[in-house]
C-alpha cells in the first residue's frame, strides 16, 4: 500500500492506494498557516488516519509547492514560505519513523499522468499546471526528473517567447511575483487570463465567466481567449524545441477549457522549428487528484 500527500498553501490531502492504483482512503485538513511544526503534525495525523483505515504500514510520498535543494537538502522556492529553509524530508522521516520521498507538486502531477494517466506508457511526459500559477514537471519512464538544481520543469518563470507589443504592455502592467520581467506565469496562468481581460476591458471577472461570455459571442471575451491560446502555444512550442516530449498533459483550472485541445496544437506548429508539431496536448486523466496520486507513485 502507498500513501500520497499533497501539501498545499490552504489544505493538505492524503490518499492511500493499492500497488495497482486503486484508491482506498482519502482525507484532507486545513494547512496550519505559517506553522512548520503544526504542518508536520498535521501530516503525521493524516498518515496515522490512513494507516488505521487500511490496516497496514505504507510507503509515504509528499508533493510540495517548492523543491528540496540538492545543494543544501533544505526546501526552497515554496510559496508556503514557512517551509523554506527546512529539512522537511529529514524531519518528517524522524516523526514517522521511515523514509519519506518528497517532490515538487508539479513533478508529482507529471508522474501521476505518466504512470497511469493521460501520458501512460510514454517515455517523456511534460505535465503543465495552469491554475492560480503556472507550474510544470517532467516524468521520464514514469519517474520524476528533478535536475541538478532541483528546478527541472519550472518553465513558468522563463520569459514568454516571441513577445509582441500587446504582450510587453501586459507584462509591464502585471509584473510577476518572482521579480523577473515577462514570466510565462504572468500570461498563461488562470490568474494571467482574467487579468488580461481586466486590462483590456476594465472588467474583473472569473476565468470561467470569461469563457462563458465567449461562448455567448462576446467579442472581447473571444479576443481574450484567442490571445491566451496564442500565448500558450508559444510557451509549449518552446518546450518542444528544447526537449520534444512525447506528450504534454494539462492540469489546473485552465485545463478545463476544452477548446484549448483543438486550437493550441494547431498554433504550436508555427513556432516549432521546421514548422511541424505532432505533439499531443491532452487533458489530465485524474484532474485535481493527480498531485496526490503522483506523490504516492514516488515509490
What are the DSSP calls for 205-223, one per residue? --HHHHHHHHHTT-HHHHH
What does DSSP say about strands 75-76 and 247-251: parallel, antiparallel, or unpaired? unpaired
Are residues 17 and 101 both part of a single domain? yes
Cβ distance 73 to 65 under 8 Å? no
- The answer for residues whose C-beta is within 8 angstroms of residue 179's C-beta and 6 or more apart is none
List per-residue pLDDT tens for the chain, 299 residues long.
999 999 988 899 999 999 999 999 999 999 999 999 999 999 999 999 999 999 999 999 999 988 999 999 999 988 788 999 999 999 999 999 999 999 999 999 999 999 999 999 999 999 999 988 888 999 999 998 988 888 888 889 899 999 999 999 988 888 888 888 899 999 999 999 999 999 999 999 999 999 999 999 999 999 999 999 999 999 999 999 999 999 999 998 999 999 999 999 999 999 999 999 999 999 999 988 889 999 999 99
Are residues 64 and 134 both part of a single domain? no
Give whole-number Cα distances, 142 to 15, 130, 147, 244, in Å. 19, 21, 15, 16
Are residues 144 and 165 both part of a single domain? yes
Are residues 17 and 77 both part of a single domain? yes
Cβ distance 293 to 4 under 8 Å? yes
Are residues 49 and 145 both part of a single domain? no
Say how many domains are in the chain: 2
Are residues 99 and 170 both part of a single domain? no
Residue identified by cell 501521476 is 112
pTM (2 d.p.): 0.89
Are residues 13 and 153 both part of a single domain? no
Are residues 28 and 103 both part of a single domain? yes
Identify the domain containing residue 230 by its residue range: 119-283
Are residues 216 and 241 both part of a single domain? yes
Are residues 95 and 24 both part of a single domain? yes
Are residues 95 and 128 both part of a single domain? no
Return the half-sphere exposure (C-beta side, CA atoms, 13 A cut-off) of residue 60: 27
Are residues 25 and 172 both part of a single domain? no
3-state DSSP call for residue 100?
strand
CATH number assigned to the domain comprising residue 37: 3.30.420.40
- The Cα–Cα gap between 282 and 157 comes to 22
What does DSSP say about strands 124-130 and 247-251: parallel, antiparallel, or unpaired? parallel
Amino acid at each position: 500500500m502507498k500513501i500520497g500527500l499533497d501539501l498545499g498553501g490552504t489544505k493538505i490531502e492524503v490518499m492511500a492506494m493499492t500497488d495497482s492504483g486503486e484508491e482506498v482512503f482519502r482525507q484532507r485538513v486545513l494547512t496550519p498557516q505559517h506553522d512548520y511544526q503544526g504542518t508536520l503534525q498535521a501530516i503525521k495525523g493524516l498518515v496515522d488516519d490512513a494507516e488505521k483505515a487500511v490496516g497496514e504500514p505504507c510507503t509515504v510520498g509528499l508533493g510540495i509547492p517548492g523543491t528540496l535543494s540538492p545543494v543544501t537538502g533544505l526546501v526552497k522556492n515554496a510559496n508556503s514560505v514557512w517551509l523554506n529553509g527546512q529539512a522537511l524530508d529529514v524531519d518528517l522521516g524522524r516523526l514517522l519513523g521511515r523514509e519519506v520521498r518528497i517532490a515538487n507538486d508539479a513533478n508529482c502531477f507529471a508522474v501521476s499522468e505518466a504512470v497511469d494517466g493521460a501520458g501512460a506508457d510514454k517515455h517523456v511526459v511534460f505535465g503543465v499546471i495552469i491554475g492560480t500559477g503556472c507550474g510544470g514537471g517532467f516524468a521520464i519512464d514514469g519517474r520524476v526528473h528533478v535536475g541538478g538544481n532541483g528546478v527541472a520543469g519550472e518553465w513558468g518563470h522563463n520569459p514568454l517567447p516571441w513577445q509582441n507589443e500587446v504582450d510587453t504592455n501586459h507584462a509591464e502592467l502585471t509584473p510577476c511575483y518572482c521579480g523577473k520581467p515577462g514570466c510565462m506565469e504572468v500570461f498563461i496562468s488562470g490568474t494571467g487570463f482574467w487579468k488580461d481581460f481586466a486590462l483590456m476591458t476594465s472588467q474583473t471577472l472569473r476565468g470561467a465567466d470569461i469563457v462563458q461570455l465567449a461562448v455567448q459571442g462576446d467579442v472581447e471575451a473571444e479576443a481574450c481567449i484567442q490571445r491566451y491560446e496564442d500565448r500558450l502555444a508559444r510557451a509549449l512550442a518552446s518546450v518542444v524545441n528544447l526537449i520534444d516530449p512525447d506528450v504534454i498533459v494539462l492540469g489546473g483550472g485552465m485545463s478545463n477549457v476544452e477548446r484549448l485541445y483543438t486550437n493550441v496544437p494547431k498554433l504550436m506548429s508555427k513556432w516549432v522549428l521546421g514548422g511541424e508539431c505532432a505533439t499531443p496536448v491532452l487533458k489530465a486523466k485524474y484532474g485535481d487528484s493527480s498531485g496526490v496520486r503522483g506523490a504516492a507513485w514516488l515509490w
